[in-house]
Amino acid sequence: MKIIMLGAPGAGKGTQAKKIAGKYGIPHISTGDIFRANIKNGTELGKKAKTYMDQGLLVPDELVVDLVVDRVNQEDCTKGYVLDGFPRTIPQAEALDKALADVDQKIDYAINVEVPDENIVNRMSGRRACVSCGATYHLVYAPTKEEGICDNCQGSLILRDDDKPETVKKRLNVYHEQTQPLIDYYTKAGVLVEVDGTIDIDDVFAAIVKVLEEA
């Protein structure tokens, strides 16, 4: 089962991708998480990516495509995977399709988690991420058991640098310009699934599972 998560920043792609990966035993591949791990480890890729991410801009395609193509060709991806945050531009989608076609494969579902812009800024200001394991919470909608402490690993929680309201607004503009055209792209490919992302986290997940299991 090869799945792509689509949706605006903060729509809940990561939240749902983790749940899908857990239920179906497939890897969750988040390009945002890969970049953040590289930034934390001070790699060259991390240094380059940070300059774009801090401004709410997309990292250039050439820094992303090979990385993802290599990742999906690894052994643990033979049963499938959930891609979260990739592709984000038409050239990225075309490069992925080409790499998959070379090995006689294709994407099965592109799940678009729909949340209107007006809900997003609010949602992002309440998000907290663990500095150690990357787990994501929300002060109101997905709180930790103990305030400021990760439930998984007891790491401390932070507000992501790019979750400040001015940067979120910029990311939303970038999303509408560069990523939203993928909805049309995957509709034409016959794999688009739309889910309402404004409802409760578990209800969004139930809607996704229903689609995956009906097919």
Binding string, residues 77-106; x marks residues near ligand AP5 by CB under 6 A: --------xx-x---x--------------
- One of 4, 26, 28, 32 touching ligand AP5 (CB under 6 A): 32
14 binds Mg ion per the rule CB under 5 A: yes
Query: Does the footprint of ligand AP5 cover residue 107 (CB under 6 A)?
Result: no
Query: Cα separation of 149 and 154, whole Å?
Result: 5
**Using rule CB under 6 A, residue 177 touches ligand AP5:** no
Neighbours of 42 (CB within 10 A): 9
8: nearest Cα among 188, 144, 176, 212? 176
Site string for ligand AP5, 43-72 (x = CB under 6 A): ---------xx--xxxx----x--------
CA distance 15 to 202: 10
**DSSP H helical segments within 77-200, as ranges?**
90-102, 117-125, 165-174, 181-188
Which listed option, Mg ion, ligand AP5, none, makes contact with residue 134 (CB within 5 to 8 Å by class)? none
Catalytic annotation present for 171 = yes
